[in-house]
């Protein structure tokens, strides 16, 4: 990946830094998914954060254009395969299946899914319009245009807030691990600014309230029995959603869509 972006015109040290930040981010996202299991994990773009730290004026056009194109893989991380692959391995562990046996199916799926996804995306863009039909294709060009037309030095406010956020999350992590009574999970702080939390916060609040009441008044046995009911709610929703999507494919009607 470093060689690819270097051949695209990016400075070698910057390509190494960018890929390093990207790898750190996807490992963090995977850890968040494994430890907390949030319904969405759309962390902020590492490439845009890097430009904010260094400054677009210092980087120059030969670096800014490839960085803008990097947005194709680091715009958001909610669709990254690593967290979902780790969940599959965890399911194997629960079912006493050797998780190493998943390696070959994952690789085969990637070999098939990659070309199919490229073809499907091009087909959608040509049918619906790559610029007007989807905003994602134009975002990178708009960002690059802003960097080139209005180059900026490092953003002190962004640097201060990033360092402060890192320090506060580190404090939450330390407190969460050292004090049994500490009620706040450290990942709640960075995930709170996720735009999907605008939709998810109330269902999560209801789930937490139901769990708290059941554990307090019914105990662990009642909680374990009640879990099947809530699993049934999840299975029922996804079953109906899948059926309606299949019906929509055959009838060419927009019936029901799961939004993220």
The pTM assigned to this predicted structure is: 0.77
Instruction: Break the chain into its structural domains and give their ranges.
Output: 2-154, 196-260
Identify the pLDDT of residue 98. 83
For 53-112, what is each residue's pLDDT tens digit?
A: 888 888 989 899 999 888 888 887 877 888 888 888 888 888 888 878 888 888 898 899
Long-range Cβ contact pairs of 37-40 (< 8 A, separation 24 or more): 38/187, 38/191, 38/194, 39/196, 39/200, 39/204, 40/78, 40/194, 40/196, 40/197, 40/200, 40/260
Identify the pLDDT of residue 116. 94
For 37-51, what is each residue's pLDDT tens digit?
A: 776 777 778 888 888
Q: Is the pLDDT of residue 32 over 80?
A: yes
For 126-162, what is each residue's pLDDT tens digit?
A: 877 655 545 566 788 888 888 999 888 888 888 888 8
At 44, list the tokens.
């902020």
For 199-256, what is each residue's pLDDT tens digit?
A: 788 888 898 899 999 999 999 999 999 999 999 998 998 888 888 888 888 888 877 7
CA angle 233, 238, 241 (to 5 degrees): 125
CA distances (Å), 196 to each of 38, 191, 204, in order? Answer: 10, 9, 12
């Amino acid at each position: 990946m470093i060689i690819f972006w270097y051949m695209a015109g990016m400075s070698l040290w910057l390509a190494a830094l960018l890929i390093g930040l990207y790898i750190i981010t996807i490992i963090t996202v995977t850890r968040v998914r494994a430890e907390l299991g949030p319904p969405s994990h759309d962390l902020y773009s590492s490439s845009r954060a890097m430009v904010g730290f260094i400054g677009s004026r210092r980087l120059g056009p030969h670096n800014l254009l490839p960085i803008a194109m990097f947005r194709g893989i680091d715009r958001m991380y909610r669709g990254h395969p690593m967290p979902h692959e780790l969940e599959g391995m965890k399911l194997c562990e629960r079912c006493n299946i050797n998780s190493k046996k998943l390696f070959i199916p994952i690789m085969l799926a990637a070999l098939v899914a990659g070309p199919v996804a490229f073809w499907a995306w091009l087909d959608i863009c040509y049918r619906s319009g790559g610029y007007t039909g989807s905003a994602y294709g134009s975002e990178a060009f708009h960002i690059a245009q802003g960097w080139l037309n209005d180059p900026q030095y490092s953003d002190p406010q962004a640097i201060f807030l990033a360092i402060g956020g890192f320090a506060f999350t580190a404090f939450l992590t330390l407190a969460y691990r050292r004090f049994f009574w500490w009620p706040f999970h450290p990942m709640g702080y960075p995930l709170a600014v996720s735009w999907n939390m605008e939709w998810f916060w109330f269902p999560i609040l209801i789930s937490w309230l139901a769990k708290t009441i059941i554990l307090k008044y019914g105990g662990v046995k009642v909680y374990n029995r009640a879990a099947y009911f809530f699993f049934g709610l999840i299975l029922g929703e996804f079953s109906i959603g899948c059926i309606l999507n299949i019906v929509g494919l055959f009838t060419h009607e927009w019936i029901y869509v799961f939004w993220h």
